[in-house]
Amino acid sequence: MTDNLEETIRVLCIEDDPAMIELVTLILKNRGYDVRGASSGQEGLDLINDFDPNLILLDLMMPDMSGWDVYTQIRANDGTREIPVIVVTAKAQNIDKVLGLRIAKVQDYIVKPFSPAELIESVEKVLSED
């Protein structure tokens, strides 16, 4: 996970489904990550500054603001634009994946439902690129 065992990697999961936040938290905490959940886009944006995550897992479809709106605000801010983002969504259309990876330049794209192994593989791949 990391060469420096002193440094706990912080992951912020911005997701409107509490059960999904709980699942992601369980999977990643078992791997030694510090995970926080935000149940709305605005809550996620507010939490970024306090939590200072190393990685953000971002749902696209949320009621208050879309994941793309959250992503745009993260990238527009000098203090957060370098934080890697993995989109986690039920939108499985190829065009969505192409838009996410090629156009918006998210670091990875995971489609729900996913296995614990898929989540860990994506997180570790993105963090190793950092």
Tens digits of per-residue pLDDT, 109-125? Answer: 888 889 999 999 999 99
- C-alpha count within 13 angstroms, C-beta hemisphere, residue 75: 12
Tell the burial category of 110 from Cβ atoms under 10 Å away from its Cβ (0-12, 13-18, 19+): middle
Which residues are registered as beta bridge partners of 86?
Answer: 57, 108
Pairing, β 10-14 against β 55-58: parallel
Q: Given this model, what pLDDT does residue 93 score?
A: 59
Taking the CA atoms of 123, 101, 112 and 77 in sequence, report the sign of the dihedral they define. positive
Q: Given this model, what pLDDT does residue 1 score?
A: 46
Identify the residue with better confidence: 79 or 105: 79
Q: Given this model, what pLDDT does residue 3 score?
A: 47
- If you count them, how many residues does the chain have? 130
Domain 10-122 sits in which CATH superfamily?
Response regulator (3.40.50.2300)
Q: Given this model, what pLDDT does residue 107 score?
A: 85
